[in-house]
Chains A and B, each alone.
Chain A
Amino acid sequence: MKSTAIGILAILLVSAFCVLLLLTVDYHGARGGTDNPYLAAGASETGAVNLVSGIYLNYRLYDSLFELLIFSMAVLGVRFYLNAEKSTKPNVARVAESPVVRIAADLLFGPIMLIGVYLIVFGHLSPGGGFSGGAVGGTGLLLCAAALGAEVVARRFHEQIIEQIEWGILLLIILFAVAPIFFDRLPLTDLLPSGRVGKLLSGGTIPIYNGLIGIKVFIGTWVVIYSFIRHRGEI
């Protein structure tokens, strides 16, 4: 009886909250067209055709740096807490090796990695970018781990070094963000010329940030996946 009353109260409160949210939505806040400052000058100012990357790696790079820091902290947390519980024995039997998965992994691993690299390299010209490309690469490694076993992939990947690479890349990104100060320029993005809009070598620092973030997300995704797999025993 008591729980029913609480349920009805919760439904009423949540519906009131939703109605309040719907009433306060301002449909005219987002603007398209030429009166939008990002659309009017974004491509020429940042050098990136893809304005979304232009915003999150140029105008709002400060946000993206802290977002990356949050991602790194989460990866560190997953590693730390899952490795702390060493006492639990792996009690899950290895899934029987399936030729279907093995052949599919053989066929798909190359294309998946290629798509990941493409998304990273062309992040400033077409849909994509460091985060999505890195996540695609991490998914390819997951497929490999499902086919070959996680330990085989981890041995090829040299786990201790990879952790140092991950933190080294974070340091590199921060160094790269403050580097313009030493050349009497504004920090964060003012290091390279923006180049001719639409070419591969354009966008100033955006392709470099895309590449660094891509490698970092790739390694981070794999570390999260591998921590979960090892904690459970096998995939």
Chain B
Amino acid sequence: MDVANGVTIAVILFGVGIFALIIRRDLVIKLLALGLIDSSSVLFLVSLNAQDNGIAPIVHGPGANYVDPLPQALVISAIVINFALLALALVFVMLLVERYHTTDSLRIAQQVEREKRS
């Protein structure tokens, strides 16, 4: 088994995305990391069922080496839901930035604390 295949790359990208999601305090970078995680899961699903001489599952007669269509059908859901999620999350980030004038999550938390006390 070749180690440098799509699955390995997808898992590494997933790790980078999770790491950025934990460490970086910038909300926009957090959203980018979320997008990276989603793309990595798409790559994972598609490359998991990739075959050497496989062709796309659009059937034009028996016998050809079609790949499994199920992961590709799941990917459609993943893409649409990620689009919806990112659009909505971007709106919330925009509202937070307009109110607190920063994208730093720690500073936003501090300002919210201050507002609560006063």
Chain A contact residues: over half helix, strand or loop, or mixed?
helix
Contacts of B51 in A (CB 8 A): 32
B77 contacts partner chain A, Cβ-Cβ < 8 Å:
yes
B60, chain A: closest CB distance, angstroms:
7
Residues 39 to 96 of chain A near chain B (Cβ within 8 Å): 39, 42-43, 49-52, 54-56, 60, 63-64, 67, 70-71, 73-75, 77-78, 81-82, 85, 88
Q: Can you name the residue of chain A whose Cβ is closest to the Cβ of B63?
A: A34
B8 contacts partner chain A, Cβ-Cβ < 8 Å:
yes
Bound Cα distance A71, B87 (Å): 10
| Interchain Cβ contacts within 8 Å, total number | 127
A29 contacts partner chain B, Cβ-Cβ < 8 Å:
yes
A183 contacts partner chain B, Cβ-Cβ < 8 Å:
no
Residues 1 to 58 of chain A near chain B (Cβ within 8 Å): 6-7, 10-11, 14-15, 17-18, 21-22, 25, 27, 29-34, 36, 38-39, 42-43, 49-52, 54-56
The reply to whether B76 and A56 form a contact with Cβ atoms under 8 Å apart is yes
The reply to whether B70 and A38 form a contact with Cβ atoms under 8 Å apart is yes
Bound Cα distance A49, B84 (Å): 29
Contacts of B62 in A (CB 8 A): 34
A206, chain B: closest CB distance, angstroms:
13
Residue from the list A10, A77, A217 in contact with B91, Cβ < 8 A: A77
B65 contacts partner chain A, Cβ-Cβ < 8 Å:
yes
Bound Cα distance A81, B98 (Å): 13
Bound Cα distance A32, B69 (Å): 8
Q: A-side interface residues toward B, CB under 8 Å?
A: 6-7, 10-11, 14-15, 17-18, 21-22, 25, 27, 29-34, 36, 38-39, 42-43, 49-52, 54-56, 60, 63-64, 67, 70-71, 73-75, 77-78, 81-82, 85, 88, 125-127, 129, 131, 217, 224, 231
